[in-house]
């Protein structure tokens, strides 16, 4: 049955299927990637993209189907076989040894012999050549942990090229990059394409697909729903293919009507355990009925800001909620007292903070509010009341499946987020802190969550939105503040700015705040 493939195709997959228990992660997937092209694979979380790539890289064994590399059927039982076949993989979470130098990381596992010196010399020469060819300059002797994420990613690419990869797979490569760094990455990828390398780009960002790919394959629920030329398609069409129905990519909203000041933050500072100052004098004001968006590359103090406001990190400075100062240092300064003051919080990492993944859905709807009278009766917790509450919320927020006894970990990202959102909105807070509201959330649910945020704003609530997705910030915010290195670089109105200016501010370059 194995027909010889077309040698013009760098990779051809034929009828790949993979099941995990009853879960069909990949169903009969066939795909053809031409040599010297950039091929995008797009799909929602859980669509099976990563499973497919893991099969290609030898992490999983497919139940059925075959892989052809350069027209030849090539079994890939492990990642060494994938490397031998010329496949290089750049993971979303880098696999670098933090306290090794760039050179040491590049040769790791590909040393030529027992002695390191010849390998290192060879790698140094190659690195220099690659730096000249693709403007991929990284200091070969720098220690990884001293490098920024963009540079670390370049090291991952260099690692793959050192192993003579012809096919480069990048899994969500721009998640941690500033817009400028992402542009740089794309220039590198275009250079590699010009050299005849084949690149597979896995992403959930439609804009990247449109910007850089030649062809794009859409996955939905484990199936490949379409493969099209990028030039012949549009973001709207791709979104529809991903979700299976028409999707509104814009958020419909009326102009905000800000009311009284809800939250005032003055000179807020946070020093972490390593004595590094993570927030360096933040000033903010949020009024009722407006969304203040905090843009920025992750790791520039946004998390600390949310944690301090949410009551579980210590800081100095002044925070006034409805005109009354909040104690930032006392023993009563915890998340529970913040909730009592009318601050609700949808945390950035719902799986680590917002939910107990092993708790059932009904146990999670009381999480953080488990002191409320409605969930307690005498000495014991009123589990029946929590269950009733959960059923109600699941219906109102369209959580699927609407089964309160299912553990949180068994819901998809979007449905987990709906549970958190339902819980936090429920108590009618004055201020909602919301971090990365749609990270790891499927497009269909993104729409719903955005609608909820705007609806809450229109009810006259103050909303502090933190997101690394610039599109999301632009779509939802009434005002945008950009954070860089623990400072606010400046504030802009969405109508008066664009992604370029914000991108520069996110990189710490300009902005009125920095100039002053």
Partner 1 sequence: MNDALPKWADILLIPFINLVLALVVSGFVVALIGKDPFEALYILVNGSVGSAYGWGYTLFYATNFIFTGLGVAVAFHARMFNIGGEGQAALGGLGVALVLLWVPWPHWTVALVAASLGAAVFGAAWAAIPAYLQARRGSHIVITTIMFNFIASALMVYLLSRVLLVPGAGGSPETARFAEAVRLPNAYDVLPWMGFSRSTPLNISFFLALASCVFVWALIWRTRLGYEIRAFGHSEPAALYAGISPFRITMTAMLISGALIGLMATNSVMGEAERLVIDPVQGAGFVGIAVALMGRSHPVGVFLAALLFGALYQGGGELTFEMNGMTREIILVIQALVILFTGALDNMVRAPIERIFLTAGRRPQPTLPTSPLPSDGDPKDSKVEP
Return residues touching partner 1 (CB under 8 A): 20-25, 45-51, 54, 60, 221-222, 310-312, 334-339, 345, 347, 349, 352-359, 363, 366-368, 370-371, 376, 379-381, 383, 398, 400-401, 403, 406-407, 409-415, 440, 442, 444-445
- Could you give the C-alpha distances from 401 to 300, 355, 367, 386, 446, in angstroms and in order? 36, 17, 20, 17, 17
Nearest to partner 1 of 55, 157 (CB atom): 55
Q: How far is it, in rounded angstroms, from Cα 336 to Cα 402? A: 28
CB of 16 to partner 1, least distance (A): 13
CB of 341 to partner 1, least distance (A): 12
Nearest to partner 1 of 214, 372 (CB atom): 372
Asked whether the beta carbons of 75 and 155 are under 8 A apart, the reply is: no
Nearest to partner 1 of 411, 484 (CB atom): 411
CB of 509 to partner 1, least distance (A): 33
Q: DSSP strand E in 44-97: where?
A: 64-69, 72-73, 87-90
Nearest to partner 1 of 363, 478 (CB atom): 363
Nearest to partner 1 of 413, 503 (CB atom): 413
CB of 445 to partner 1, least distance (A): 7
DSSP string covering 220-275: ETTEEEEEEEGGG--HHHHHHHHHSS----SPP-PPP---SEEEEEEEEEEE-TTS
Nearest to partner 1 of 322, 376 (CB atom): 376
Angle at 58 between CA 53 and CA 59, to 5 degrees: 80
Nearest to partner 1 of 53, 161 (CB atom): 53
CB of 400 to partner 1, least distance (A): 4
- Give the closest residue to 55 by CA, choosing from 196, 222, 221: 222
Nearest to partner 1 of 50, 198 (CB atom): 50
CB of 417 to partner 1, least distance (A): 12
DSSP string covering 383-410: HHHHHHHHHHHHHHTT-SS--TTSBGGG
CA atoms 316, 502, 188, 82: torsion sign? positive
Three-state secondary structure call for residue 452: helix
Q: How far is it, in rounded angstroms, from Cα 21 to Cα 65? A: 18
CB of 181 to partner 1, least distance (A): 22
CB atoms within 10 A of CB 254: 8
CB of 13 to partner 1, least distance (A): 17
């Amino acid at each position: 049955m194995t027909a010889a493939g077309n040698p013009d195709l760098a990779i051809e997959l034929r009828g790949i299927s993979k099941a995990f228990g009853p879960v069909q992660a990949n169903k009969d997937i066939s795909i053809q990637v031409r040599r010297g092209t950039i091929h995008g694979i797009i799909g929602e979380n859980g669509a099976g993209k990563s499973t497919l790539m893991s099969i290609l890289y030898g992490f999983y064994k497919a139940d059925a189907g075959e892989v052809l590399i350069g027209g030849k059927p090539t079994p890939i039982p492990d990642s060494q076989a994938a490397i031998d076949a010329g496949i290089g993989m750049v993971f979303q979470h880098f696999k670098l040894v933090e306290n090794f130098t760039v050179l040491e990381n590049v040769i790791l596992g590909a040393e030529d012999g027992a002695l390191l010196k010849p390998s290192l010399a060879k790698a140094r020469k190659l690195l220099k050549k690659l730096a000249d060819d693709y403007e991929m300059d990284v200091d070969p002797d720098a220690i990884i942990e001293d490098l920024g994420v963009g540079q670390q990613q370049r090291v991952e690419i260099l690692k793959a090229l050192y192993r003579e990869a012809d096919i480069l797979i990048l899994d969500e490569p721009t998640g941690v990059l500033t817009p400028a760094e992402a542009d740089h990455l794309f220039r590198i990828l275009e250079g590699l394409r010009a050299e005849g390398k084949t690149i597979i780009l896995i992403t959930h960002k439609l804009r990247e697909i449109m910007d850089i790919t030649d062809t794009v394959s859409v996955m939905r629920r484990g199936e490949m729903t379409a493969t099209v030329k990028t030039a012949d398609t549009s973001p709207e069409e791709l979104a529809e293919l991903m979700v299976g129905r028409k999707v509104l990519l814009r958020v419909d909203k009326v102009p905000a009507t800000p009311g009284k000041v809800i939250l005032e933050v003055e000179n807020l500072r946070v020093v972490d355990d390593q004595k590094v100052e993570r927030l360096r004098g933040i000033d903010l004001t949020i009024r009722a009925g407006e969304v203040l968006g905090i843009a920025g590359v992750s790791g520039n103090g946004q998390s600390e800001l949310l944690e301090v406001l949410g009551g579980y990190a210590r800081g100095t400075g002044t925070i006034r909620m409805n005109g009354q100062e909040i104690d930032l240092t006392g023993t009563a300064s915890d998340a529970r007292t913040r909730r009592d003051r009318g601050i609700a919080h949808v945390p950035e990492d719902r799986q680590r903070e917002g939910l107990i993944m092993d708790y059932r859905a009904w146990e999670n709807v009381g999480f953080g509010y488990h002191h409320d009278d409605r969930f307690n009766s005498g000495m014991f917790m009123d589990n029946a009341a929590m269950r009733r509450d959960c059923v109600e919320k699941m219906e109102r927020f369209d959580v699927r499946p609407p089964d309160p006894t299912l553990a949180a970990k068994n819901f998809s990202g979007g449905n987990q987020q709906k549970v958190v959102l339902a819980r936090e909105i429920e108590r009618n807070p004055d201020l909602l802190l919301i971090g990365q509201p749609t990270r790891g959330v499927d497009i269909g649910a993104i729409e719903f969550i955005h609608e909820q945020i705007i609806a809450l704003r229109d009810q006259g609530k103050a909303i502090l939105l933190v997101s690394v997705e610039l599109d999301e910030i632009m779509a939802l915010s009434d005002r945008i503040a950009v954070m860089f290195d623990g400072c606010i670089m400046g504030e802009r109105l969405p109508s008066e700015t664009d992604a370029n200016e914000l991108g520069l501010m996110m990189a710490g370059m300009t902005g009125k705040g920095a100039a002053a």
